[in-house]
Amino acid sequence: MNYDRILIRYGEISTKGRNRNKFVEKLRKSVKIALAPFPKIKVEASRDRMYVLLNGENGIEIIEKLQTIFGIQSFSPAIKVARDVESLKQAALQLIQNLYKEGQTFKVTTKRSDKTYELDTDGVNQTIGAHLLKNVSGIKVDVKNPNINLRVEIRKEAIYLSCETIQGAGGLPIGSSGKAMLMLSGGIDSPVAGYMAMKRGVEIEAVHFFSPPFTSERSKEKVIDLTKKLAEIYGSITLHIVPFTAIQQAIREQIPENYSMTTTRRMMLRITDEIRKNREGLAIITGESLGQVASQTIESMYAINEVTNTPVLRPLITMDKTDIIKVAQDIDTLEISNRPFEDCCTIFVPASPKTKPKREKVNHYESFFDFEPMIQEAVQEIETLVIKPDIEKQSEFNALF
């Protein structure tokens, strides 16, 4: 007997009280997007569980996909069985005969959400256990540390059998925490920040500042490739590419060199906030980590953040670079970020940027020039792309089916 469905457990979202329906709907959407390449599957969702009915589709590949979906605590390949005791015994035996290897031990763990079932929990454990001991030669019981833990779930509509529990990605389903704009450079940090925000349920759109001819098409490609990676999680991500050359040149002419970095960041934040308004986002995400570079001291953040009161989320704020790199490795963005490229900021970076800029000073310097029309023009000329992923992952779960 083969597994015919995958049972999905929600974890954290099941604690969300009256928001639960919304969370389940968002998760169902994530599952549908991730499983779009498998047209025959069917998704059944209830308040505390979701089932993906395989209908003959490849369970191994589906498991690979499910592991990347935020909001799933764990899942198990499972079989649906009719509620009579004979069917249950027969299905349990077939499943264990398929999985059992010589010398292995087992136990039966029954959960009864339908208390009206003819056998109680111990009754099911004993009936199934005895049936397996009688019919699978050599198998032994081990209740502490079994090789096979046969889970029997007795529900109103049917009984479900499963043996493996696979860890999900955790987090919250994307979209359940609203939408935010991710300021995405070609560096290591911002893709990691985007990933971490997505994990907490934020739907992101990416914003990239591009300064041709000082930054090349190759650096744009790099940002597109990073966006593709992040898009693997949710099917597609909108990327806004902002022409930034004119503003950077104006900054170079108008602002004393040691404050040019501070003003550059302020302009980036103002533009991102404009885009956010147009796209109905509620926050901005950056890859800043406290003290990492001159623009990321707490004084710099105080001076830069003055231009908006939109929440600026900084998922990496307390992380060390080595830990950020580890995550970048895990999510496969490190290699792309490490490609040599010119960032618009590194091109124009002053020799000695202020590490402790003052709000009064930066406001004073900016007061001699009206940046607003340039900001509006940059927003007008944004190139907006919808980026889709382009790779299929290899499967590692052949053993399960």
- Give the interface with Mg ion as residue ranges (CB under 5 A): 185, 187
Contact indicator for 75, 5 with CB cutoff of 8 Å: no
Q: Which stretch binds ligand ATP (CB under 6 A): 1-9, 54-62, 250-258, 287-295?
A: 287-295
Q: Name residue, tokens 């569980």.
A: 49
Q: Which of 344, 378, 379, 382 binds ligand ATP (CB under 6 A)?
A: 344
User: Contact between 238 and ligand ATP (CB under 6 A)?
Assistant: no
DSSP state of 395: P
Closest CA to 1 of 129, 104, 95: 95
Smallest gap from residue 311 Cβ to ligand ATP (A): 14
Cα–Cα distance between 46 and 156 in angstroms, integer? 13
Nearer to Mg ion, 59 or 187 (CB): 187
CA atoms within 13 A on the CB side of 248: 21
Of 50 and 188, the one with the shorter C-beta distance to ligand ATP is 188
CB-based contacts of 43, cutoff 8 Å, min separation 6: 28, 31, 32, 35, 50, 51, 52, 53
* Residue 178 beta carbon to ligand ATP: minimum distance, rounded to whole angstroms: 19
**Closest residue by beta carbon to ligand ATP:** 187
**9 marked ligand binding residue:** no
183 appears as a binding residue in the annotation: yes
Q: Is 198 annotated as a binding residue?
A: no
**What's the full length of the chain, in residues?**
401
DSSP conformation letters of 245-308:
HHHHHHHHHHS-HHHHHHHHHHHHHHHHHHHHHHTT--EEE----TTSSGGGSHHHHHHHGGG-
Q: Which is nearer to Mg ion, 222 or 276 (CB)?
A: 222
58 scored as a contact of ligand ATP (CB under 6 A): no
CB 341 within 8 A of CB 209: no
Residue 205 binds which of ligand ATP, Mg ion, none (CB < 5-8 A, kind-dependent): none
Q: H or E segment at 182?
A: strand 179-183
Give the 3-state DSSP-derived string for 138-165, with helices as H, strands as E and coil as C: CCEECCCCCCEEEEEEECCCCEEEECCC
Q: Please tell me whether residue 284 binds ligand ATP under the rule CB under 6 A.
A: no
The one of Mg ion, ligand ATP, none whose footprint includes residue 153, by CB under 5 to 8 A per kind, is: none
Q: Is 288 in the site for ligand ATP (CB under 6 A)?
A: yes
Q: Is 376 annotated as a binding residue?
A: no
Residue that is written with structure tokens 């959960």 in the block:
111
Tokens linked to 233 = 């999680």
The answer to the question of whether 296 is labelled as a binding residue is yes
Given ligand ATP, Mg ion, none, residue 208, with its beta carbon under 5 to 8 Å by kind, binds ligand ATP
Residues 104-163 that bind ligand ATP (CB under 6 A): none
Least distance to Mg ion, CB of residue 346, Å = 7
User: Among ligand ATP, Mg ion, none, what does residue 190 contact (CB within 5–8 Å per kind)?
Assistant: ligand ATP
Q: Select from ligand ATP, Mg ion, none the partner in contact with residue 231, using the beta carbon and a kind-dependent cut-off of 5 to 8 Å.
A: none
What does 183 interact with, of ligand ATP, Mg ion, none (CB < 5 to 8 A by kind)? ligand ATP
Question: Residue 292, interface with ligand ATP (CB under 6 A)?
Answer: yes
Site string for ligand ATP, 16-35 (x = CB under 6 A): --------------------
Per CB under 6 A, 184 contacts ligand ATP: yes
Q: Which positions from 185 to 224 touch ligand ATP by CB under 6 A, shown as an x/- string?
A: x-xxxx----------------xxx---------------
Q: Cα–Cα distance between 169 and 98 in angstroms, integer? A: 28
Residue whose Cβ sits closest to Mg ion: 187
49 vs 226: CA distance, rounded Å: 33
Q: Which amino acid is at 210?
A: F
**58-84 burial string, b = 16+ CB within 10 Å, else e?**
ebebbbbbbbbbbbbbbbbbbbbbeee
Contact between residue 236 and residue 388 where contact means Cβ atoms under 8 Å apart: yes
Comparing CB distances to Mg ion, the nearer of 78 and 345 is 345
Tell me the C-alpha distance between 347 and 260, whole Å. 12
- Indicate the residue among 159 and 188 with the shorter CB distance to ligand ATP: 188
Helix or strand run (H / E) with residue 204: strand 203-210
Given the rule CB under 6 A, which residues bind ligand ATP?
183-185, 187-190, 207-209, 286-288, 292-293, 295-296, 343-345
